[in-house]
Amino acid sequence: MPDIFEPTNIIVTGGCGFIGSNFVRWVVKNHPECHITVLDKLTYAGNPANIAGLPESQVELVVGDICDAELLDQLVPGHDAIVHYAAESHNDNSIADPEPFVQTNVVGTYRLLQAARKHDVRYHHISTDEVYGDLALDEPRRFEPDDPYRPSSPYSSTKASSDLLVRAWERTYGIRATISNCSNNYGPYQHVEKFIPRQVTNILCGIRPKLYGTGENVRDWIHTEDHSRAVWDILTKGKIGETYLIGANGEKSNIEVLREILSLMGQTEDAFDWVRDRPGHDRRYAIDPTKLERELGWKPVHTDFAEGLAQTIEWYRTHESWWRPAKEATERKYSEQGQ
């Protein structure tokens, strides 16, 4: 078994976003001994409400940009780890305007790596399965950690670039870094621009759901809580310099997911619109999580997708004041793109 690292004071970048805030709440619940400094720029995707109500003695929010080297120089000393979630995360936005993706995902990661190096702190890098490109729908293979990088979109190419920076900083400068590449997350607090929240809130607003292209594209779904536990396992027990893939054997086509949403929300199975496809749309993602399971003993808990989806729908039904402010502008943007 690898040595156990026991963090007591970590920085979580992007802790006001979807997955980062779920991780913060997971750590508060499961590791009360660990203090968390959330560093978040509060872009359109960051919402302080996502971490509101957590004990002030354990969670502190610092509003700032990961590209700000001076701020990092002040903030990082005294912490024992950086868990880096902050990113521009939406593929469709990256196609419309790649600039902030290059800034935050590439330059921001570079600045954090330099800070981790200068102040000698443990660094964990959150990334995506999209760095590996896509698979054919009928290919028996799934992504494995040593697969070549073949990103397709401006978003995934900036994530791939950031992963490569981490690998180089670990090898050349000896920083204590690990990387995880996870599949598509679902659960509470996900922005209404993303597939599942968009369709659920469309139905709640009386708007027809929108399906891109043929609807055959496959995504490998994982509940965000299973992702959080995997990240903690890698941070505390992972081997320095290693890449771990996180996935929960959750492959489903988009049309299957949409039909499950329609059925759970009492709609007929054809109550949606086909819309313009995403340019360069990746066909299929699929993760082989064997390394994480074998080496660190992680296993997903949320294995019943229909149940997790029903809980997520219920969360959006009961949290309208959380998603309503972003809904109109998001739909306006999609409608201008023909989506």
What residues are annotated to the active site?
A: 129-130, 155
Using the contact rule CB under 6 A, the part of the chain among 1-9, 39-47, 86-94, 299-307 near ligand TDX is 86-94
Q: Does position 85 bind ligand NAD by CB under 6 A? A: yes
| Torsional class of 266: left (φ above 0), alpha (ψ -120 to 50), beta (otherwise) | left
Q: What is the DSSP string of 8-68?
A: SEEEEETTTSHHHHHHHHHHHHH-TT-EEEEEE---TT--GGGGTTS-TTTEEEEE--TT-
Choosing from 16, 54, 82, 121, the residue that interacts with ligand NAD (CB under 6 A) is 16
Q: Does position 108 bind ligand NAD by CB under 6 A? A: yes
Indicate which of ligand NAD, ligand TDX, none lies near residue 210 (CB less than 5 to 8 Å, by partner kind).
ligand TDX
DSSP-derived 3-state class of residue 238: coil
Quote the CA–CA distance of 335 and 244 in Å, as a whole number.
38
Q: How many residues at the interface with ligand TDX, by CB under 6 A? A: 16
Residue located via tokens 């599942």: 196
Choosing from 93, 128, 228, 330, the residue that interacts with ligand NAD (CB under 6 A) is 128
Cβ 271 to ligand NAD shortest distance, Å = 25
- Judging by beta carbons within 10 Å of its beta carbon (0-12, 13-18, 19+), is residue 84 exposed, middle or buried? buried
Indicate which of ligand TDX, ligand NAD, none lies near residue 254 (CB less than 5 to 8 Å, by partner kind).
ligand TDX
- Write out the two tokens for 259: 């039909």
Q: Is the dihedral of CA 179, 185, 190, 196 positive or negative?
A: positive
Q: What is the DSSP string of 165-197?
A: HHHHHHHHH---EEEEEE--EESTT--TTSHHH
Q: How many residues at the interface with ligand NAD, by CB under 6 A? A: 30
114 phi/psi in degrees, rounded to 5: -65, -40
Q: What string marks each residue from 232 to 251 as x (binds ligand NAD by CB under 6 A) or -?
A: --------------------
Quote the CA–CA distance of 286 and 135 in Å, as a whole number.
8
Indicate which of ligand NAD, ligand TDX, none lies near residue 40 (CB less than 5 to 8 Å, by partner kind).
ligand NAD
Q: Is the dihedral of CA 70, 71, 72, 73 positive or negative?
A: positive
Residue 287's CB is within 10 A of a number of other CB atoms, namely 25
Site for ligand TDX in 174-213 (CB under 6 A): 184, 194-195, 198, 210-212
Indicate which of ligand TDX, ligand NAD, none lies near residue 188 (CB less than 5 to 8 Å, by partner kind).
none
Indicate which of ligand NAD, ligand TDX, none lies near residue 126 (CB less than 5 to 8 Å, by partner kind).
ligand NAD
Residue closer to ligand TDX by CB (options 89, 236) is 89
Quote the CA–CA distance of 152 and 94 in Å, as a whole number.
11
Residue closer to ligand NAD by CB (options 108, 209) is 108
Binding site for ligand TDX (CB under 6 A): 89-91, 128, 130, 184, 194-195, 198, 210-212, 217, 219, 254, 278
Binding site for ligand NAD (CB under 6 A): 13-14, 16-20, 40-43, 45-46, 65-67, 85-89, 104, 108, 126, 128, 159, 182, 184-185, 191
